[in-house]
Amino acid sequence: MKKNIKRYSELIRLPTAEQRFEYLRVPSTVGIATFGFDRYLNQAFYTSKEWRDFRFKMILRDKGCDMALPDRDIPEGAILVLHHINPLSLEDVEDKSDALFDPENVVCVSDRTHRAIHYGDMSLLALLPIERRPNDTCPWK
């Protein structure tokens, strides 16, 4: 059994993108393959009809927002990823564990945010647009 299970219901209580990023961040090393030579199992799973249907429902739940934050719409045409909050193992995929389709174990993220989560690099997060004010770009005011 996995320790320190993280849950979607806990994640959505965090108010900021930074807090949610820290909650989701996966401490890993770049270049280490998740499934090694068995990556074909992972790809077969993510292209299955069952996964596509589940993914669609979860994107609707999160309203297509990055890390399920209402003010972080993922732009049309950007890649939407359903991130497993608790990383999957080869055994999870082989045994079709409950973790694969648990709504409490997934959140909608942009491709850029997904990379930031896995690389542990907050600088990769897409920044929110700066709220502009009258004359804020005028150098003499």
pLDDT of residue 37: 55
The answer to the question of residue 137 being in a domain is no
- Mean predicted confidence (pLDDT) in 95-117: 93
**CB neighbour list of residue 11: distance below 8 Å, 6 or more residues apart:** 20, 23, 24, 67, 68, 85, 107
The answer to the question of residue 111 being in a domain is yes
The answer to the question of residue 138 being in a domain is no
Domain total of the chain:
1
99 pLDDT more than 50: yes
pLDDT of residue 1: 47
135 pLDDT more than 50: yes
The answer to the question of residue 133 being in a domain is no
Distance CA 20, CA 11 (A): 6
Rank 17-26, 29-38, 71-80, 130-139 by mean pLDDT and report only the highest. 17-26
The answer to the question of residue 50 being in a domain is yes
Tell me the per-residue pLDDT of 81-96, one tens digit each, with 9 for 90 and over: 899 999 888 888 888 8
Closest C-alpha among 20, 106, 108 to residue 60: 108
The answer to the question of residue 105 being in a domain is yes
- Mean predicted confidence (pLDDT) in 21-49: 73
- Mean predicted confidence (pLDDT) in 88-107: 91
pTM of the full structure: 0.79
- 3-state SS string over 78-125? CCEEEEECCCCCHHHHHHCCHHHHCHHHEEEEEHHHHHHHHHCCHHHC
Tokens coding 7: 């849950």
The answer to the question of residue 109 being in a domain is yes
Domain that holds residue 42: 8-121
pLDDT of residue 79: 80
109 pLDDT more than 50: yes
pLDDT of residue 28: 63
